[in-house]
Amino acid sequence: MNILILGVQVPYVRGGAEILTQSLKEKIQSEGHRVDIVTLPFRWIPKAELIKNCLAWRLINLDEINGEKIDRVIATKFPSYLIQHPNKVTWLVHQFREIYDLYNTRYTAFHNELRDNQVREAIIKMDQEALKESDPVYTISQNVSNRLRTYNGVRSTPLYPPPHMGDRYGCDSYGDFVLYVGRLEGNKRPELLVAAMAHIPNRFSCVMVGAGSMRKRLDDMAEQEGVTSRVRFAGEIDDATLLDLYARCGCVFYGPIDEDYGYVTVEAMKSRKPVVTCTDSGGTLEFVKDKVTGLVTSTQPEDIASAVTRLLDDSAFAKGLGEAGAESVAGIGWRRVLEGLLA
């Protein structure tokens, strides 16, 4: 088959969605199909640009390229699924959450005002129409499927994407530091771990992997909390360095707000490390079961600190949870994904 994967990217930003589309391309190629990725840039400031983004995808014709029929398109995140094609499959990373579950909260620029409501209503209407055209609709997690059903009345099937480093994850030891991996942005809530470090014994430290707009604020916060010497910002690192940190850390903290899926959770578990997450962290809770594969806590710094300290203090306990976590994600692989998307 001739297949096109549809991606959406904010220029200069690379995250889980970009990893997913590249990994999917490689796996489809390994099945003997001809495949490529079609990407359009995404911008939403001013807010009316969202409508233009939607129309751009709606107006593209990918039925054929240079006289060759395109047998299937696989849409991923908003608004790529607005494309019209006779054989469109959606594997939804997420919609534009700022007008759905994050609407009128501190995590969005969209609030209950006339212009915002007009844009919101227009996008919801387009989503409803476009998703009905897709057969079938898959998502990357049960959490994303739940949102689709709640806000759009669309039923879908979760297909969990495997982390992109395959079988390279491993465990060397249960060290004296907690690892954070993710963008340093508000919805990922890295500040929760920095605040918690003030309540974690001085013999323990944390390593924070990732970059983002909150870096300066986190530096200032670490200084104010008196934990600068125990919080190391590693920035963006290569795969080998990340694998090494996973292999040596005592546990992983990942506490975003209502996460779609969270590669970090699965990567940590494949590294046999327990995960500390929060009660409102969404997709992570599909894998982190309290005192089974990790620890689930409130967002209070003292509670997060207590959970992290317990794991760093007791390597046998951490190992037990890590082993259970590894077993729970052992079945996440590409075979089921490909069977769904290529059927």
Residue 263, in any domain of the structure: yes
In a domain, 337, yes or no: no
Structural domain for 217, as ranges: 166-328
Q: Is residue 335 part of a domain?
A: no
User: Do 265 and 319 fall into the same domain?
Assistant: yes
**191 and 110 in a common domain:** no
Percent of the residues in the chain that have a pLDDT greater than 70, as a whole number: 100
Specify whether 90 is located in the same domain as 13. yes
Judge if 149 and 173 occupy the same domain.
no
Structural contact between residues 94 and 260, judged by C-beta atoms closer than 8 angstroms: yes
Model pLDDT for residues 300-317, shown as the tens digit of each residue: 999 999 999 999 999 999
> Quick one: 86 exposed, middle or buried, by C-beta within 10 A (0-12, 13-18, 19+)?
exposed
**Domain-terminating residue out of 159, 178, 201:** 159
Which pLDDT score, from 0 to 100, does residue 110 have? 93
| Domains identified in the chain, total number | 2
**What per-residue confidence (pLDDT) applies to 2?**
96
Please identify which residue in the block is written with the tokens 């052992």.
330
Strands 64-65 and 68-69: antiparallel
Does the residue 334 lie in any domain?
A: no
| pLDDT level of residue 135 (50, 70, 90 thresholds) | confident
Average pLDDT, the chain: 95
pLDDT above 80 (res 95): yes
Q: Per residue in 269-280, pLDDT tens?
A: 999 999 999 999
Give domain status of residue 223, yes or no.
yes
Q: Which of 171, 161, 159 is nearest to 325 (CA)?
A: 171
Q: Are residues 149 and 291 in the same domain?
A: no
If asked whether residues 155 and 173 sit together in one domain, one would say no
Predicted pLDDT at 107: 87
Mean pLDDT of 156-174: 94
Q: Residue 264: inside a domain, yes or no?
A: yes
Q: Say if residue 294's pLDDT is above 90.
A: yes
Residues 246 and 146 in one domain: no
Burial class (CB in 10 A: 0-12, 13-18, 19+), 40: middle
Label residue 297 by pLDDT band (50, 70, 90): very high
Region 208-228 average pLDDT: 97
Query: pLDDT tens-digit profile of 177-199?
Result: 999 999 999 999 999 999 999 99
Residue 91 φ/ψ region, left for φ over 0, alpha for ψ in the -120 to 50 degree band, beta for the rest: beta
What pLDDT, on the 0 to 100 scale, is given for residue 202? 97
95 and 122 co-located in one domain: yes
pLDDT range class, residue 48, cuts 50, 70, 90: confident
297 in helix, strand or coil? strand
Identify the band that residue 210 occupies on the pLDDT scale cut at 50, 70 and 90. Answer: very high
Name the residue with tokens 């590294």.
271
Cβ neighbors of 300 (< 8 A, separation 6 or more) are none
Domain membership flag for residue 341: no
Q: Pick from 140, 159, 178: which residue ends a domain?
A: 159
Whether residue 324 is found in the same domain as residue 175: yes
Enumerate residues 6+ apart whose C-beta is below 8 A from 192: 253, 255, 278, 299, 301, 304
- Record the tokens describing residue 299, joined without a space: 């967002």
The domain boundary residue, chosen from 100, 124, 159: 159
Q: Which residues pair with 209 in a beta bridge?
A: 181, 235
pLDDT band at 98 (very low <50, low <70, confident <90, very high): very high
Burial code (b: 16+ CB inside 10 Å, e: under 16) for 217-251 equals ebeebbeebebeebbebbeebeeeebbebbbbbbb
In this structure, are residues 317 and 310 in contact, taking their beta carbons and an 8 Å threshold? Answer: yes
Would 342 be classed as within a structural domain? no
Q: Which residues contact 282 (CB under 8 A, 6 or more apart)?
A: 143, 256, 257, 258, 259, 260, 262
Report the range of poorest mean pLDDT among 42-51, 236-245, 285-294, 301-310: 42-51
Residue 236 has what pLDDT?
94
- Looking at residue 19, its pLDDT comes to 87
Output the pLDDT for position 15.
Answer: 76
CATH of the domain at 121: 3.40.50.2000
DSSP 3-14: EEEEEEE-TT--
The DSSP bridge pattern shows strands 34-41 and 294-297 to be unpaired
Residue 12: its pLDDT value, please? 82
- Check pLDDT > 90 for residue 203: yes
- pLDDT-based confidence at 11, cuts 50/70/90? confident
Q: What is the pLDDT of residue 18?
A: 87
Q: In terms of domains, do 245 and 302 share one?
A: yes
User: Do both 275 and 296 map to the same domain?
Assistant: yes
Same domain, 178 and 247: yes
